[in-house]
Structure 1
Amino acid sequence: MWLPSVTFDTVASFIDGADMASNGSFLAGFREWLIVKVDDGNNLHWTALILELAFPKARSPRKELEACEDHLPVIEIMFQLLDSFCQERQESGLRLIYLTYEKWLRKQSWYKRGWPGWVEL
């Protein structure tokens, strides 16, 4: 593939485009899988969650990325996470990923009956 520049945002945009071309099936469950990995960030886009994992101790992962001249290490982390997700989704299925995310949601103090998406079990 050819990209105009090798930056985290350019590669992430390419991946988002591939997801859009597949009507959302390419990244289905990826954001939820990342939320469980980060154990936070239910309000974040999947790219922000990757930055949280790439810069776990940073107060502002986005600023850490912007301070890097070379984004390749973070891009490699992104592809490693995407590969791990795809393997898990293939082996365990998308349903287990969403069930694990639902279990994570129910442990959050802010997630209560009546919230959008709440399902009575």
Structure 2
Amino acid sequence: MFKHYRALLAALQRDPVRHGLDGTFATNTAFILGLDAGTSWNMLTGFQEWLVVRLGRGHDLTWPVLVRHLAPSGWTHPLTSQADAEALTTLYRLLREYFDQREQTDGLATIFKDYQSWLTTQAWYQFETPQANQIN
């Protein structure tokens, strides 16, 4: 299954115009979101969580925003042509690395385990137990 996604995304990166795109990060992201929707959101299941662990923050951000934070220029708005090209290169590199992880035995489970481990280190994620609130 991921072999097909890899081939399609490689073709998209190589020749965006053939797929009706202008070659920007925005249009490539929109196309990839559409691909994901066409797989009932299966193609990129865990991608956002995988990116959050890599970045170390951003659980409340969408994956396109996380990719831009992970690009060499970091988050810039609006995107300059150089930052756009860097974000696009970063997007395809991260997708390849993510698919590598997903293809591993228990790859998706590992992604969510790593994300859960990351969550438990966040101060805002700590919950008080009813016993902690009891007065002796």
Shared fold (TM-score greater than 0.5)?
yes
Find the counterpart in structure 2 of residue 110 from structure 1.
Answer: 124
Q: CA deviation at 1:88?
A: 0.8
Flag structure 2 segments of 5+ consecutive residues without an equivalent.
1-17, 129-136
Tell me which moved more, 65-74 or 3-12: 65-74
Specify the structure having the higher radius of gyration (Cα). Answer: 2
Aligned length: 110
Flag structure 1 segments of 5+ consecutive residues without an equivalent.
115-121
- Of residues 49, 56, 68 in structure 1, which corresponds to 2:81? 68
Q: Are the counterparts in 2 of residues 6 and 71 from structure 1 also a CA contact under 8 Å?
A: no
Q: CA deviation at 1:70?
A: 7.0
Q: CA deviation at 1:66?
A: 1.5
- Any residues of structure 2 matched to 1:25-44 within 5 Å, and which? 25-44=42-61
Give the fraction of aligned pairs with identical amino acids, expressed as a percent. Answer: 29
- Of residues 96, 109, 115 in structure 2, which corresponds to 1:83? 96
Q: CA deviation at 1:113?
A: 2.8
Q: TM-score, normalised by structure 1?
A: 0.82
Q: Are the counterparts in 2 of residues 31 and 45 from structure 1 also a CA contact under 8 Å?
A: yes
Q: TM-score, normalised by structure 2?
A: 0.74
Q: Output the aligned Cα RMSD.
A: 1.9
- Structure that is richer in helix per residue: 2
- Of residues 52, 61, 65 in structure 2, which corresponds to 1:48? 65
